[in-house]
């Protein structure tokens, strides 16, 4: 009986089986990565959706909630609904205050260097709040620590706390040495402190 184990047909069949098994094994090996990708992302998908909504509607963010069935309500896209920003004294003329901003537009200020202390209230529009949250998310993803300290001792300390359905994140920055996203958020929050029309209680 002739030996056909090395015939072209037999070799092609073996090669086909090998390729088939390789594809199957590769598919099985990819399952854990796919599962991890599926779990990692509700945050990524949420972030992209917030980014897309802000890019599409800009200043109109928060004014179209429920009108577009293709999107969830704007407020539902915000991973954080409260931002607290605090600045400490320094050896100089530094504004000292604690400001709390809310997604529903409320703004509260406890200031030692404006309005002779006490508590004041104001308003922030939803789109601006959403932009701050958007940058806050970037800052959270970029910051490798929760505390940054300069090597000098005459500066102020800025502390940012974000809280909401995504949990709570806090970072402090003494001397403005934190990553650029944290620094930019500090500057924007201080800009809101100066822009909001505060009414003393």
Q: For 67-118, what is each residue's pLDDT tens digit?
A: 544 445 778 889 999 999 999 998 888 899 999 999 999 999 997 665 556 8
Query: How do strand 147-149 and strand 167-174 relate by DSSP bridges?
Result: parallel
- What CATH number should be reported for the domain holding residue 84? 3.30.1560
Number of domains within the chain: 1
Residue 178 belongs to a domain:
yes
Which backbone phi and psi does 67 adopt, to 5 degrees? -90, -20
Residue 176 belongs to a domain:
yes
Residue 102 belongs to a domain:
yes
Mean pLDDT of 24-46: 52
Which domain does 107 fall in, by range? 75-200
Residue 187 belongs to a domain:
yes
Residue 169 belongs to a domain:
yes
How much is the pTM? 0.72
Cβ contact 143:162 at 8 Å: no
Identify the pLDDT of residue 49: 83
Residue 24 belongs to a domain:
no
Cβ contact 185:161 at 8 Å: no
How much of the chain exceeds pLDDT 90, in percent?
Answer: 53
How much of the chain exceeds pLDDT 70, in percent?
Answer: 69
pLDDT grade, residue 147 (50/70/90)?
Answer: very high
């Amino acid at each position: 009986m002739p030996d056909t184990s090395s015939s072209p047909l037999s070799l092609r069949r073996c090669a086909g089986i090998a390729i088939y098994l390789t594809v199957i094994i590769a598919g099985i090996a990819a399952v854990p990565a796919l599962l991890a990708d599926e779990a990692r992302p509700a945050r990524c998908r949420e972030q992209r959706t917030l980014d897309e909504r802000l890019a599409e509607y800009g200043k109109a963010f928060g004014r179209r909630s429920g009108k577009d069935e293709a999107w969830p309500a704007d407020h539902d896209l915000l991973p954080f609904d409260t931002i607290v920003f605090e600045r400490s004294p320094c050896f100089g003329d530094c504004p000292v205050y604690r400001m709390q901003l809310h997604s529903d537009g409320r703004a509260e200020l406890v200031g030692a260097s404006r309005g002779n202390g006490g508590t004041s209230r104001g308003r922030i529009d939803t789109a601006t709040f959403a932009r701050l949250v958007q940058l806050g998310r970037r800052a959270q993803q970029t910051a490798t620590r929760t505390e940054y300290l300069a090597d000098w001792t005459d500066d102020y300390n800025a502390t940012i706390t974000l809280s909401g359905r995504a949990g709570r994140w806090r970072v402090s920055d003494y001397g403005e040495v934190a990553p650029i996203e944290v620094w930019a958020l500090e500057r924007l929050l201080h800009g809101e402190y100066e822009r909001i029309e505060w009414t003393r209680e």
